[in-house]
Amino acid sequence: MLAIVGGSGLTQLASLDVTRREVVRTPYGEPSGALTFGRICEQDVVFMARHGYGHTIPPHLVNYRANMWALKHVGAEGVISVASVGGIRPDFGPGTLLVPDQILDYTWGRESTYFDGGDRPVRHVDFTHPYDEKLRKRLLAAGKAVGEALFDGGTYATTQGPRLETAAEIDRFERDGADVVGMTGMPEASLARELDLPYAAINVVANFGAGRASSEHGISFDSIELVLQESMTRVRVLLNGLCGRK
C-alpha cells in the first residue's frame, strides 16, 4: 500500500475510491487527521492531509512524527509527499513539477527524531540520498505514462515558515545550492527514513522565490492559489499514472 501525503492545495483526492477512514492513535500524539483508505485503480492507497482537512495546521506545528508513525502502523510501504514550493532556479517558474533528489534543512524546534532518549537504542540513519530512488523513478515513470513533464532532481531547502522568505534568504539558499524552497520537507523525510519507509516527493512550484522574477516586489497569495488549483489537477492525473505499477 502506498501513502500519499497531500500539502497545500491537495486536501483530498477525487480519484480515490474511498473504502474507509481511520483515526490512528500514536505514541507521539495526534496525526494531522484521519487516514483515508481507498484505491486508485487497483492500487491500495492511504491518504493524509498534512495540514489537516481544513488546512488549519501550520508547517512548524505539523506532528510529523505522529504522521509518519501512523502511516507505517497501517502498513504503508512507501510515502509520496506532495508539497508546494517556491522556485529558486530561474527555470523553475510557477506550475513546474519536479521530483527532488536532495534536501537542505533550515528548520528549528521541530520534533525531528524517534530516537530522543526513550528506550530505543539510538540509530544514526544514513541520509546521504534522502529520497528513495525506486519511488522517485516510479513517479517519473508515472509522469511519462500520463504525458506530464516532471523535472528529475533538484535540491529542496526546508525553511521554518510560516512566513515567506526575504529576498536575501532566497539568495543565501541559492548560494547553498537550493533549487526550490518549502516548509514541510523536513523532518518528514528523515522520520520516514528512521522508520525504513521509502519516501519521495512531488514538488509543485507555486511562485518564484521572494525577490525573483514575478516575485520581485512581493509574493501574491491570490496568484499562488490560482497556480496551485491548476497544478494540483495535474498532480491528481499524475497519481493516476501510478496505476498498475507496483
Applying CB under 6 A, the residues found at the interface with ligand HPA are: 84-86, 159, 164-165, 181-183, 206-207, 209
β partners of residue 182: 158
Give the residue from 15, 51, 17, 55 showing the smallest Cα distance to 238.
15
Residue type, position 151, single letter: F
Beta carbon of residue 44, minimum distance to ligand HPA (angstroms, whole number):
30
Distance CA 145, CA 240 (A): 9
Q: What is the DSSP letter of 213?
A: G
In the complex with ligand HPA, the residue whose CB is nearer, 60 or 73, is: 60
Report the nearest approach of ligand HPA to the CB of residue 43 (Å).
28
DSSP string, 38-58: EEETTEEEEEEETTTTTT---
Smaller CB distance to ligand HPA: residue 69 or 156? Answer: 156
3-class DSSP assignment, residue 150 = coil
Query: CB of 199: closest distance to ligand HPA in angstroms?
Result: 19
Helix (H, G, I), strand (E, B) or coil at 175: helix
Residue closer to ligand HPA by CB (options 19, 229) is: 229
Q: Which is nearer to ligand HPA, 165 or 194 (CB)?
A: 165
Residue 165 grid cell? 522568505
- Shortest separation between residue 210's beta carbon and ligand HPA, angstroms: 6
CB of 162 to ligand HPA, least distance (A): 9
**Nearest in space to 111 (alpha carbons), one of 23, 27, 49:** 27
Cβ at position 45, least distance to ligand HPA in Å: 24
CB-nearer residue toward ligand HPA: 32 or 215:
215
Q: Tell me the HSE value of 25 on the side-chain side, using a 13 A CA sphere.
A: 0
Helix 221-240 / helix 133-146 crossing angle, nearest 10 deg: 90
Q: What whole-number distance in Å separates Cα of residue 88 and Cα of residue 172?
A: 11
Our CB check for ligand HPA shows the closer of 32 and 96 to be 96
